[in-house]
A and B are shown apart, each in its own frame.
Chain A
């Protein structure tokens, strides 16, 4: 037997949906807590966000240094400067050897030229 429903009936109808006991008080608290959490800035994220510009600046600076080093190595004057540096290094090394020789012979580094033609 099909149950009959009068759709024109205007009397209040039984509500089959049950509201769990204490639900409304709980849901108000829950909603307000969610809103409170939403309103608080996330401290951890803020710390990370604060570091982002510094990290970016450091990365750019590092890239600039690397780029500049490569650019200078390619410049024509760079080989001349490098050659000059090598010459200075070689000369310094030779002077060091000479000093060692002078020390060995216990001389003062001046070369005495014996003039055999002199009467002295």
Chain B
């Protein structure tokens, strides 16, 4: 059962008269957190900006379909994850076209909005090599320190599968670091 203020917010979002104002408040409140979740997946600011905007547009379009079974934050996070994965899939096909054209591929070092040292850069490069699901699980566990139970609810995956994903991700990242020794 969602808390009282959550119910009031859902009610405001369903009411045509208050919907726009309530949604603007929702955007303001969840943008920082969602931006960082998206940024950890897509890595570049420009891409995270596109995905974040598309996430909220999709949320607006799907407001009538939101039944209130889950919390708004969970619902928004799922949309953000789906949008991020869709973006990565599109980007992968575009990148292969860029390779053919001989255009330079962006790197995290050249991103003005990346402020990491050599270790953090290498960690991000290692994370970028992970399969999508492992990348999401690793980010949530390592950076967000999210409990497996909460992650299970968020991603709709069993705790056991999440633990396995995280350990596989850690192993691959360690291998990446060893290979670049």
A 16-40 to B, binary, CB cutoff 8 A, 1 in contact else 0? 1111100110011011101100100
Chain B interface, DSSP helix/strand/loop, else mixed:
helix
Question: Would you call B115 an interface residue if the criterion is a C-beta within 8 Å of the partner chain's C-beta atoms?
Answer: yes
Q: Kindly provide the distance from the CB of B166 to the nearest chain A CB, expressed in whole angstroms.
A: 9
For the complex, give the distance between the alpha carbons of A13 and B142 in Å: 9
Q: How large is the interface on B (under 10, 10 to 19, 20 to 34, 35 or more residues)?
A: 35 or more
For the complex, give the distance between the alpha carbons of A35 and B122 in Å: 39
Q: Kindly provide the distance from the CB of B112 to the nearest chain A CB, expressed in whole angstroms.
A: 8
- A35 & B113 in contact (Cβ 8 Å cutoff): no
Q: Which residues of A contact B173 (CB under 8 A)?
A: 5, 7
- B40 & A28 in contact (Cβ 8 Å cutoff): no
Chain A interface, DSSP helix/strand/loop, else mixed:
loop
Give the contact stretch, choosing among B31-39, B73-81, B92-100.
B31-39
Give which listed residue, B36, B56, B121, B180, contacts A15 with CB less than 8 A.
Answer: B36
Q: Which residues of B contact A16 (CB under 8 A)?
A: 114-117, 120-121, 124
Chain A-chain B contacts (Cβ-Cβ < 8 Å), number: 82
Q: Residues on B close to A: CB < 8 A?
A: 20, 23-24, 27-28, 31-32, 35-36, 39-40, 43, 45, 49, 52-53, 56-57, 60, 113-124, 142-143, 145, 170, 173, 177-178, 180-181
Q: Residues on A close to B: CB < 8 A?
A: 1-3, 5, 7, 10, 12-20, 23-24, 27-28, 30-32, 34-35, 38
Q: List 24 A-B contacts (CB under 8 A).
A: A1-B181, A2-B180, A3-B177, A5-B177, A7-B170, A15-B36, A16-B114, A16-B124, A17-B45, A17-B113, A17-B115, A18-B45, A18-B113, A18-B115, A20-B113, A23-B35, A24-B31, A27-B27, A27-B31, A27-B53, A28-B27, A28-B28, A31-B27, A38-B57
